[in-house]
């Protein structure tokens, strides 16, 4: 019987980094008898990796189970005589139970045994990282709160229960916070693969914004209504892609979390015999101190972006209006940059994008 390892995330546990690494090491894995179909070859470049399972998820969502079967038979097991394959996509955590049953039926019909691999992360840190992603990509402008932590825990539990109910003991749960193994070595150990000849990724993938960057981004999200949060955050992260960022710990939030969160953590640890155990916050938790960053420097960087960014035709008016508002708050930090942004705002609203 062939073996299929189905990596489903979970949220904010390094899936993008792992997928970039798997894409980079397709040939090295193949030499050890493992197929990782490189259906998203740009993943290895680290530009918003999505994993080779994105194609499978789209077929499942479209209820095209004939295509699902072809993907499993011909695309994911692509080497002649291959006995083991890996599929990875964080989107797969959202597949509904009746569709999981169809996937299982297809695999059984084709003599394929499925093992699910998922990561969990200390709940507070995972929730804060997920919140930061909302600020970066979705225009979130509110403050981090108890609701963010409890929603993150609920989503984690929902996915684990769904897969646990269907696949039983054929789930390998790994702890993102394991001090003895990074996500790559832990993954490879779980599928009995050596990392000795694997290439390392050269840069951090999908890095979080720092506490000060998040503060600035939230302020700007209010100005543009979230329309330009993604390109702004991408620009900021690109200026220093390997910057080390930390979690901001709020004692009031941590003390206000419901007992249900703690019970959910206990269920995960007992159900999956997780080692090391999942915790509310990381055992390596440090203080909320952050390396000094100046808001003015970040504002100046975003001004540089604003002076060169070319919006799509449909969002030209909104971009011009945003620049007018941005120039007003930028004045506090740089009179010269504020004036230049104001001029560009007028040019764009007149239709001059040169």
Low-confidence ranges of the chain (pLDDT < 70): 283-291, 352-354
H-assigned helices in the chain: 15-24, 26-31, 54-61, 65-70, 97-109, 123-138, 146-167, 183-190, 211-224, 229-239, 251-256, 259-272, 295-306, 316-330, 335-349
Please tell me the predicted confidence (pLDDT) of residue 291.
57
For the chain, the domains span 2-190, 211-244+294-349
Q: CA-based diameter of the chain, in Å?
A: 69
Please tell me the predicted confidence (pLDDT) of residue 173.
98
Alpha-carbon 272 to chain mean position: 23
For residues 30 and 84, the answer to whether their CB atoms sit within 8 Å is: no
Please tell me the predicted confidence (pLDDT) of residue 352.
65
Q: Which residues of 160-188 are buried (b: 16+ CB within 10 A; e: fewer)?
A: bebbbebeeeebbbbbbbeeebebbebbb
For residues 246 and 153, the answer to whether their CB atoms sit within 8 Å is: no
| Percentage, residues of the chain above pLDDT 70 | 97
Q: What confidence tens digit (pLDDT) does each residue in 140-196 have?
A: 999 999 999 999 999 999 999 999 999 999 999 999 999 999 999 999 999 999 999
Please tell me the predicted confidence (pLDDT) of residue 287.
45
For residues 46 and 22, the answer to whether their CB atoms sit within 8 Å is: no
For residues 112 and 4, the answer to whether their CB atoms sit within 8 Å is: yes
Please tell me the predicted confidence (pLDDT) of residue 65.
97
pTM greater than the 0.95 cutoff: no
Q: CA angle, 327 as apex, 322 and 332 as ends, to 5°?
A: 140
Please tell me the predicted confidence (pLDDT) of residue 245.
86
Fold assignment, 2-190: Rossmann fold (3.40.50)
């Amino acid at each position: 019987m062939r073996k299929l390892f189905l990596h489903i995330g979970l949220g904010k546990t390094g899936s993008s980094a792992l997928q970039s690494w798997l894409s980079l090491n397709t040939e090295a894995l193949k030499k050890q008898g493992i197929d990782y179909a490189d259906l998203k070859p740009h993943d290895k470049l680290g530009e918003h990796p999505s994993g080779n399972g994105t194609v499978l998820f789209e077929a499942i969502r479209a209820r095209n189970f004939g295509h699902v079967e072809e993907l499993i038979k011909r695309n994911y097991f692509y080497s002649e005589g291959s006995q083991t394959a890996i599929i990875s996509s964080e989107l797969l955590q959202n597949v509904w139970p009746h569709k999981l049953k169809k996937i299982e039926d297809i695999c059984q019909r084709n003599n394929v045994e499925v093992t699910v691999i998922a990561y969990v992360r200390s709940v507070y840190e995972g929730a804060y990282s997920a919140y930061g992603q909302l600020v970066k990509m979705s225009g979130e402008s509110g403050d981090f709160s108890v609701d963010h932590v409890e929603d993150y825990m609920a989503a984690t539990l929902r996915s684990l229960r769904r897969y646990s109910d269907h696949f039983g003991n054929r789930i390998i749960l790994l702890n993102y916070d394991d001090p003895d193994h990074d996500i790559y070595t832990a993954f490879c150990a779980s599928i009995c693969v050596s990392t000795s000849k694997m290439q390392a990724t050269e840069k951090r993938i999908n890095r979080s914004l720092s506490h000060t960057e998040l503060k600035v981004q939230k302020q700007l999200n209010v100005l543009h209504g979230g329309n330009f949060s993604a390109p702004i955050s991408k620009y900021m992260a690109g200026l220093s892609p390997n910057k080390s960022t930390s979690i901001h710990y709020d004692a009031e939030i941590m003390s206000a979390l419901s007992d249900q969160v703690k019970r959910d953590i206990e269920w995960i640890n007992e159900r999956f015999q997780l080692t090391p155990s999942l915790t509310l916050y990381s055992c390596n938790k440090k203080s909320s101190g952050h390396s000094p960053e100046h808001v003015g420097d970040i504002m100046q960087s975003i001004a540089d972006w604003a002076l060169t960014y070319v919006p799509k035709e449909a969002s030209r008016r909104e971009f011009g209006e945003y620049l007018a508002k941005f120039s007003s708050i930028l004045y506090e930090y740089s009179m010269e940059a504020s004036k230049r942004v104001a001029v560009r705002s007028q040019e764009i609203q007149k239709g001059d994008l040169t």
